[in-house]
Amino acid sequence: MTVVTRFAPSPTGFLHIGGARTALYNWLFARRHGGRFLLRIEDTDRARSSEAAVQAILDGLRWLGLTWDGDATSQWARATRHAAVVEDMLARGMAYRCYASQAELTAMREEQKASGQPMRYDGRWRDRDPSEAPAGIPPVIRLKAPQAGETVIADAVQGEVRVRNDQMDDLVLLRADGSPTYMLAVVVDDHDMGVTHVIRGDDHLTNAFRQTQIYRVMGWDTPAFAHVPLIHGPDGAKLSKRHGALGVEAYRDMGYVPEALRNYLLRLGWGHGNEEIIDTARAVELFTLEAIGRSAARFDFAKLENLNGHYLRATSDDRLTDLVLQRLAADASAPVPDVWRARVQAAMPSLKPRAKTLVELAENARFLVLSRPLPLTDKARSVLDGDGTAVLAALVDQLGRLATWDAPAIETEARRLAEARGVKLGQVAQPMRAALSGATVSPPIFEVATILGADETMGRLRDQLPAV
């Protein structure tokens, strides 16, 4: 059997973090077994679906590196097929037309509520002759669901779960306007796409019972189910925007790299001993449904940041330079100056150990591409107060006589100046740092001077001297 999984988001908004994890688990399971990972856009809710949301989902999956097999399928485009399946059910007596009006259904539910009964359709048109149908009421089509026995699901995560059939009513398959319901469309699409494993959030667990009944009525093989607990915030409450329930594009914008987010989402409910850092290739080797926990996972930004820092340090300087320059460029369509690229790439070995996100990395590198005169932070300006500018003036004089411009030579001159003034090296290096970076924290300042080059370094130093 070829394993086939699917990710089936509704295009009513962004690809949120829970959906991204669901997509990842489906992708990993398919890749682990040499199978196929399919993408279906469940766009039957035409009022809330949008092309912009579809594009956001596709872009989010591509950014995460979760490529799907074949073309993405539109559920709405398959409405004719869904209706044909219902016609087959009607012909075999496994579905029926229900002419109950909305007023009737409302009165029925109010009566059930008042008497303390479960509120569900009472089957009033299940066995009635259609000739009794009232005029002017278009019918819905309902499944003639089993009323005795149980529906049992052997869930790969939740274990065996069962419900009595008399606790479920005859669900609607086609609405009065002929459009398919979610329950019907999902089953027909999964069957036609050959889906063997349905891996999704446990908020769909109750749906699985109804969907299983449709599979059985149609005589189709029921896929294996795996219902994954949802993600909660650090406080144990349902994940919200304040916890991190954001679109994948928001995590990209916050400076996370896709491999770090994949690793974090993998471990957010799935485990392999105490291993925290698991790259994608190893994840494909290890991933099993049985290792998914039954308890809700808790989202933790601190853990994600630490993991992202690890992946930044492991990322090539070339790639990081490209990512940083994209953030530093005011106009993304304009070519990046060669001098920017040369400086940022040369500084990257010193910059990346200090950052946990690309945002932080880009901010730390910004001074390398700023135009003169550099703006100074308040702390940097305070360093240059008093004796700071006198130190810079002397440093300009000494560095101006250098025959070789490299970090060791620059450091030697700075040490000579410190000794001559009877101060520690830091009292020379800090004014130099303030003038070259505009801040009081930077990569090693003699390396910075080397990266900037003699002309830029001397220019930035002179910019901070009093006008003569």
Confidence of residue 136 (pLDDT cuts 50, 70, 90): confident
Confidence of residue 247 (pLDDT cuts 50, 70, 90): confident
Task: Check whether 99 has a pLDDT greater than 60.
Answer: yes
- Angstrom distance (rounded) from CA 375 to CA 434: 10
> Are 357 and 254 spatial neighbours (Cβ–Cβ below 8 Å)?
yes
- Angstrom distance (rounded) from CA 310 to CA 248: 20
Q: What stretches of 177-335 show up as alpha helix (H) in DSSP? A: 182-192, 205-218, 248-253, 258-267, 280-286, 301-314, 317-328
Task: Check whether 242 has a pLDDT greater than 80.
Answer: no
Helix (H) or strand (E) holding 97, with range, is: strand 95-98
Q: Which long-range contacts (CB under 8 A, 24 or more apart) does 117-123 make?
A: 118/167, 120/168, 120/169, 121/169, 121/170, 122/169, 123/169, 123/170
Of 339, 338, 343, 348, the closest CA to residue 317 belongs to: 348
- Angstrom distance (rounded) from CA 303 to CA 282: 20
Min mean pLDDT across 84-88, 234-238, 446-450 is at: 234-238
Of 194, 270, 333, 248, the closest CA to residue 65 belongs to: 248
CA-only gyration radius of the chain, Å: 32
Task: Check whether 333 has a pLDDT greater than 60.
Answer: yes
Confidence of residue 227 (pLDDT cuts 50, 70, 90): very high
Min mean pLDDT across 19-23, 136-140, 159-163, 254-258 is at: 136-140
Residue 104: both structure tokens together? 């009737």
Confidence of residue 349 (pLDDT cuts 50, 70, 90): very high
Please give the domain boundaries of the chain with CATH numbers for all domains. 4-74+232-307 (3.40.50.620), 76-228 (3.40.50.620), 318-463 (1.10.10.350)
Task: Check whether 344 has a pLDDT greater than 60.
Answer: yes
Q: Is residue 241 annotated as part of the catalytic site, yes or no? A: yes
Compute φ and ψ for 151, nearest 5 degrees.
Answer: -110, 125
Residue 324 CB neighbours (<10 A): 30
pTM: 0.91
- Angstrom distance (rounded) from CA 451 to CA 468: 28
Q: What is the pLDDT of residue 280?
A: 95
b or e along 367-405 (b: 16 or more beta carbons within 10 Å of the residue's beta carbon)? bbbeeeebebeeebeebbeeebbebbeebbebbeeeeeb
Strands 140-143 and 172-174: antiparallel
> 13: which residues sit within 8 A by CB, 6+ positions away?
53, 56, 247
β-bridge mates for residue 141, sequence order: 97, 174
Min mean pLDDT across 293-302, 343-352, 360-369 is at: 293-302
Report the mean per-residue pLDDT for the chain.
93
Residue 205: both structure tokens together? 């667990």
- For the residues 311-327, what does the mean pLDDT come to? 97
- Residue 9, classified by CB atoms within 10 Å of its CB into exposed (0-12), middle (13-18) or buried (19+), is buried
Residue 330 CB neighbours (<10 A): 5
**More reliable by pLDDT, 371 or 47:** 371
Q: What is the pLDDT of residue 241?
A: 60
Q: One of 241, 303, 352, 356 is an active-site residue; which one?
A: 241
Task: Check whether 243 has a pLDDT greater than 60.
Answer: no
Task: Check whether 468 has a pLDDT greater than 70.
Answer: no
> Are 221 and 287 spatial neighbours (Cβ–Cβ below 8 Å)?
no
b or e along 188-213 (b: 16 or more beta carbons within 10 Å of the residue's beta carbon)? bbbbebbbbbbbbebeebebbbbbbb
Tens of pLDDT along 145-165? 999 999 999 999 999 999 999
Q: What is the pLDDT of residue 110?
A: 87
Min mean pLDDT across 27-41, 175-189, 194-208, 229-243 is at: 229-243
Q: What type of residue sits at position 347?
A: A
Percent of the chain with pLDDT over 90: 80
